[in-house]
Amino acid sequence: MIAIINYKAGNLASVSNALERLGAPHVITSELDALESADAIIFPGVGHAQAAMQSLHENNLAGWLRQTKKPLLGICLGMQLFFESSDEGDTECLGIIPGRLRLFDNANVKVPHMGWNHFSSVGNHPLLAGIDEKDYFYYVHGYYAPVTEYTIATCHYDAGFSSVVARDNFTGVQFHPEKSGANGVKLLQNFLEFAGAQTGPKNKLII
């Protein structure tokens, strides 16, 4: 069973639909008991970092996320919240990965970075099995994560940034796999395999 974290800042419906197409049983939840019983976690996110962190704290999820050992995939803002802090609202984030999120501020590029882009470099990780630099994914973000020792793929827009990160059980992608066609489906399937989650008949619950 996959748990999609519902903290009022996620693109829940499209992620749920993508898992349904893969036949992956999943639950949309903010309940700690349901998260603890899940095999793996998907942590989507859209919107403002400060509001998202406030919602995580209000739902007692921030501390749980920092300490969980379950396989976890952060998507877009979900990945960004892995980092220590953000210029967006001068926000303290989860601190799982070192670094601070910065705003694209070059007058020669449009903000947010919106549309299809590909990796500039790709490291070796099960999340990226069968995926290479020529494969395009869909991005929508105004802030970007720095390149660190936990970066396994980079992308370039105004600056080079972390497109995919991995640290222990935590994996994250800046793009939206659920909106990235066949390449996104491949990445989600890779995560399910990385997590050891079993796909099968649809089993979605709203808690």
Contact at 8 Å (CB) between 72 and 24? Answer: no
Task: Name beta bridge partners: 174.
Answer: none
Helix (H) or strand (E) holding 26: strand 26-29
Q: Is 76 tagged catalytic?
A: yes
d(CA 122, CA 41): 23
Q: Is 46:76 a contact under the CB 8 Å cutoff?
A: yes
Q: Which of 113, 141, 155, 178 is catalytic?
A: 178
Catalytic hit among 76, 88, 113, 141: 76
Q: Does 118 participate in catalysis according to the annotation?
A: no
Residue 174 burial (10 A CB sphere; 0-12, 13-18, 19+): buried
Q: Is 41 helix (H, G, I), strand (E, B) or coil?
A: strand
CB-based contact 63:41 (threshold 8 Å): no
Residues noted as catalytic:
76, 176, 178
